């Protein structure tokens, strides 16, 4: 699914990919790139419910309380009770690789979501992927900065961390590809 959505997120993905130090894994090495990922799992307890406003008060693992409004897309809200546990798993990853010389910049953004069926325990998930390619427009080896031309013609400049070894081989005209993925899954667990 191609889209003309070249926004701040795409520029941020490329800048962040080059600015942070990231370690190479074996799979990414085969593609001459780097990849990093992070996962966070949180379980919170339902301490109060406002059914009229569809708001939950949740106590997190460190005792902090947060109020969350459940929109109409949250099915089976009436099954939630004080004392229930809400589990959230958040995952994100960033992959960066060099492309073939002469490739045209491209971009892609897509999202998918799902929720429990009528009558089942409340649960849902959502995932988003943003991919963008940019052409290396300028390189400053001394200051370790690179200027990238995005698909819409805008330029973004960023410092490149010393741990990014591919910087030394980077040339004007090279293509840089970045893929940012984030996903969250939320489920209700009865005690």
Q: What pLDDT, on a 0 to 100 scale, did the predictor assign at position 97?
A: 74
Domain that holds residue 145: 8-41+87-189
Tokens of 178: 């970045």
In a domain, 50, yes or no: no
Question: What is the C-alpha separation between 112 and 93, in angstroms, rounded?
Answer: 16
In a domain, 155, yes or no: yes
**pLDDT tens digits for range 22-64:** 333 333 333 456 677 888 899 999 999 999 999 999 999 999 9
Whether 2 and 106 have beta carbons less than 8 Å apart is answered as yes
Question: What is the C-alpha separation between 22 and 185, in angstroms, rounded?
Answer: 26
Number of domains in the chain: 1
In a domain, 31, yes or no: yes
Whether 47 and 70 have beta carbons less than 8 Å apart is answered as no
**pLDDT tens digits for range 128-163:** 888 888 888 999 989 988 888 888 888 888 787 777
In a domain, 73, yes or no: no
Whether 92 and 37 have beta carbons less than 8 Å apart is answered as yes
In a domain, 111, yes or no: yes
Q: Which of 16, 18, 14, 15 is nearest to 161 (CA)?
A: 18
pTM beyond 0.85: the answer is: no
Whether 25 and 36 have beta carbons less than 8 Å apart is answered as no
In a domain, 147, yes or no: yes
**pLDDT tens digits for range 71-126:** 888 888 889 999 999 998 888 887 777 776 556 657 777 888 888 888 888 888 88
Whether 172 and 137 have beta carbons less than 8 Å apart is answered as yes
In a domain, 3, yes or no: no
């Amino acid at each position: 699914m191609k889209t003309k959505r070249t926004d701040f997120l795409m520029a941020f993905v490329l800048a962040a990919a080059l600015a942070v130090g990231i370690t190479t894994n074996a799979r990414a090495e085969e593609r001459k790139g780097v990849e990093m990922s992070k996962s966070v799992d949180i379980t919170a307890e339902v301490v109060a419910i406002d059914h009229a406003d569809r708001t939950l008060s949740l106590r997190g693992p460190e005792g902090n309380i947060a109020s969350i409004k459940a929109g109409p897309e949250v099915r089976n809200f009436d099954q939630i009770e004080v004392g229930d546990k809400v589990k959230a798993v958040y995952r994100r990853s960033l992959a960066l690789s060099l492309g073939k010389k002469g490739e045209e910049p491209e971009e892609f953004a897509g999202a998918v979501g799902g929720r429990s069926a009528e009558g089942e325990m409340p649960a849902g998930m959502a995932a988003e992927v943003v991919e963008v390619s940019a052409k290396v427009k300028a390189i400053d080896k001394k200051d370790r900065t690179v200027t990238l031309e995005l698909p819409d013609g805008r330029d973004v400049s960023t410092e490149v961390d010393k741990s990014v070894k591919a910087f030394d081989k980077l040339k004007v005209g090279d293509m840089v590809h970045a893929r940012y993925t984030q996903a969250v899954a939320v489920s209700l667990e009865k005690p």
